[in-house]
Amino acid sequence: MKSLLALCLALLVASAHAQALPPPEIAARQYILIDLASNQVLAERDADSQAEPASLTKLMTAYIVFNALRDKKLTLEQTLPVSLRAWAERKGGGSLMFIDTTMTPRVSELLRGMIVQSGNDASVALAEGVGGSVENFVAMMNRQAQAWGLKNTQFKNVAGLTEAGHYVSARDVATIAAHIITDHPDFYPLYSIRQYTYNNIKQDNRNMLLGRDPTVDGMKTGYTDAAGYCLVASAVRDTPAGKRRLLSVVMGTASKEARAAESQKLLNWGWQAWDAVRLFEAGKPMATVPVWKGDRSEAKLGAAGALYVTVPKGEGDKLKTTIERTDPLLAPLTQGQRVGSIKITTAGGTAVATLPLVVQEPVALAGFFGRAWDAIRLWIK
């Protein structure tokens, strides 16, 4: 819940418009770079264009399986049958875990087969285990996409095979990846596994950045002839403001090496050109103001939680905070009630973020005489 709350708060933060170093030239059809601490988009190109996702599809497949595990609808040690449909994925020419109908792999093994080895067969076996059929599972994927408001996503299969009407955008892929990181932190470490062996067949994770950049701990590759080479990469570093995580999506690059190199360019630029700044602590009031007709004379106001913003390098100590609030403030007030806005700007007045100003502690209604006295004072005022 804490991670979900943090994500919801972060969604209120607008992208910084202050001048930053321009992003490097990225050799990809679509890309996006997001700072997940503030949920600010640092760079993008054609991020809302519908594109074939290839095995990036398996991010949503995994998310639905993680939900089922969280909800106790299956367990990691549970075994699942391998259907003829899952076995038939061998004929498709894509990535495989190499399971067959004589096997009963555990869910934990199938997850590694899908995430590390990018196995299409593992994806089908998991989909059937959770949804009863691939078709039911695909419907679950699309319902989740709709619940998140993904406008440029539609799934037709669970593995990422080329199929009419199967598409996502770079921004939507980033949203799915971010939800895995924030909603299922216990399962996210699966994306950092660099090698997995099943049935004596050893396969390497195709995310080359796992071996090149020690800050990269995920996330997923994809390739088809139509999609080109795609990569979602996530990296985390400790900063003075706390842990900072960058998430990049590149789609439609020319080779395995290119998707790794272009992703690394984006991540490096994100670290070098931008700073994360923690403006407010969770639960710490920003202002104590008069309240009328309440059982106390003052109310504590602040942000709903810790607030992070990402600003061009060197701009962090120049930010200005302005509070706009309702006046007069009348009881009763409930904790979390919005009573105004907090606006963050650069020294030059450029908007960086706007978020609700909320009540930190509830204020109950005063008794009859207290309300009457304040009514007279307000009338005189």
Catalytic, out of 95, 118, 234, 248: 118
> Rounded mean pLDDT of the chain?
88
> What tokens does 146 get?
């709709």
Please answer whether residues 282 and 360 qualify as being in contact, where contact means their C-beta atoms are separated by less than 8 angstroms: no
Per residue in 259-278, pLDDT tens? 999 999 999 999 999 988 88
What is the per-residue pLDDT for 13? 37
Nearest-angstrom CA–CA distance, 177 and 272: 23
List 2, 3, 15, 55, catalytic entry:
55
Sign of the four-CA dihedral 122, 162, 261, 32: negative
pLDDT at 246: 98
pLDDT of the residue at 26: 97
pTM of the model: 0.85
pLDDT at residue 14 above 80? no
Of the ranges 174-178, 280-284, 286-290, which one carries the lowest mean pLDDT score? 280-284
| AA letter at 211 | G
How do residues 216-252 score in pLDDT, each as one tens digit?
999 999 999 999 999 999 999 998 888 999 999 999 9
The CATH code that applies to domain 281-380 is 2.60.410.10
Q: Which of 58, 220, 265, 300 is catalytic?
A: 58
Instruction: Name the residue ranges covered by the structural domains of the chain.
Output: 2-274, 281-380
Show the beta-strand stretches assigned E in 107-154: none
Query: Is 234 part of the annotated catalytic residue set?
Result: no
Is 55 catalytic? The answer is: yes
- State residue 373's pLDDT score: 53
What's the pLDDT score for residue 156?
Answer: 98
Cα dihedral sign, 348-354-356-360: negative
Min mean pLDDT across 198-207, 215-224, 236-245, 296-305 is at 296-305
- Alpha-carbon gap, residue 281 to 266, rounded angstroms: 29
In CATH, the architecture of 2-274 is 3-Layer(aba) Sandwich (3.40)
Mean pLDDT computed over 66-84: 97
The pLDDT-based confidence of 367 (bands split at 50, 70, 90) is low
Burial of 379 (0-12, 13-18, 19+ CB in 10 A): exposed
pLDDT confidence of residue 321: 85
**Would you state the structure tokens that stand for residue 240, as one six-digit string?**
């003075």
Tell me what percent of the residues of the chain surpass a pLDDT of 90.
62
